[in-house]
Structures are given as C-alpha cells and as structure tokens.
C-alpha cells in the first residue's frame, strides 16, 4: 500500500502515467510494456492486492468503467485479463485488469506454458 506500491504512486501522481480515463474510484492508463497495439491497465484507486483479495462489490462499477474505457478508445473487440498471484503471472500486487486489443485485427490465443 501507499509508498511501496507502484500503482498507488501512479494514482497519487508521484509516478507519471499516460492516462486514458479516470473517475473518483478508477483509473485507466497505458501499460508501459504493451503486448498488443492497445494495452491499458485498469485499476481501482483503492489498494487491493489482487482479484482474490478484492471485495466483490468493487467489480460492478469497475465493469461499467471498463466499458467506458472501450468507448473512449473506440474498440468493441478486446480481451480482459487479471493475473492473480505469482503463479498466475502477477508482478504488481495492486489489482489491475489488462485491457488488450488489436483494432482492425484479431488477438491470438494459445498455450501459455
């Protein structure tokens, strides 16, 4: 939380980010290391370590916010991913949903191990 969480520092404006959309409770910004032409991270401004440790009621407004992000960037086709825990590939322990898209194309899918 707070000082040692990189995404809390982004929320606080202590680390710069390329913001896409923001409201009182959520922030969307471009991933620093994109895996596709559109790679946005969507986070609650409140610190929760990951999906498993987030109260379920957070996800209803978060889903609405994600749809607004899609509208803002003008894509209808996209993939949402959240890595939960080290074994799930999580590196930053502040809940985030990866919003990934390839406008005008198709995202690949395949074996990850």
Would you please indicate which residues are annotated as catalytic (active-site) residues? 96
CB 82 to Zn ion: min, Å: 15
If binding is defined by CB under 6 A, does position 89 make contact with ligand 5GP?
yes
Long-range pairs of 49-55 with CB within 8 A, sequence gap ≥ 24: 49/93, 49/94, 49/95, 50/82, 50/83, 50/84, 50/85, 50/90, 50/93, 50/95, 51/82, 51/84, 51/95, 52/84, 52/85, 53/95, 54/95
Span from 24-32, 53-61, 63-71, 72-80 in contact with ligand 5GP (CB under 6 A):
24-32
Q: Name residues contacting Zn ion, limited to 22-81 (CB under 5 A).
A: 47
If binding is defined by CB under 6 A, does position 37 make contact with ligand 5GP?
no
If binding is defined by CB under 5 A, does position 8 make contact with Zn ion?
yes
If binding is defined by CB under 6 A, does position 5 make contact with ligand 5GP?
no
CB 48 within 8 A of CB 58: yes
Rank residues 6 and 58 by Cβ distance to ligand 5GP and give the closer one.
6
Determine whether 110 is exposed, middle or buried from the number of CB atoms within 10 Å of its CB (0-12, 13-18, 19+). Answer: exposed
The residues of the shown chain that bind ligand 5GP, judged by CB under 6 A, are 6, 15, 17, 29-33, 41, 83, 89-92
The residues of the shown chain that bind Zn ion, judged by CB under 5 A, are 5, 7-8, 47, 94
């Amino acid at each position: 939380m707070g000082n040692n969480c990189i995404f809390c520092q982004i929320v606080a404006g202590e680390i710069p980010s390329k913001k896409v959309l923001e409201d009182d409770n959520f922030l969307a910004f471009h991933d620093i290391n994109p895996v596709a032409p559109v790679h946005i991270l969507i986070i609650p401004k409140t610190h929760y370590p990951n999906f498993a440790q987030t109260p379920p009621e957070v996800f209803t407004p978060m889903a609405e916010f994600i749809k607004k992000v899609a509208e803002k960037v003008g894509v209808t086709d996209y993939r949402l991913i959240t890595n939960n825990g080290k074994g799930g590939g999580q590196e930053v322990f502040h809940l985030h949903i990866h919003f990934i898209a390839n406008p005008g194309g198709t995202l690949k899918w395949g074996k990850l191990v």
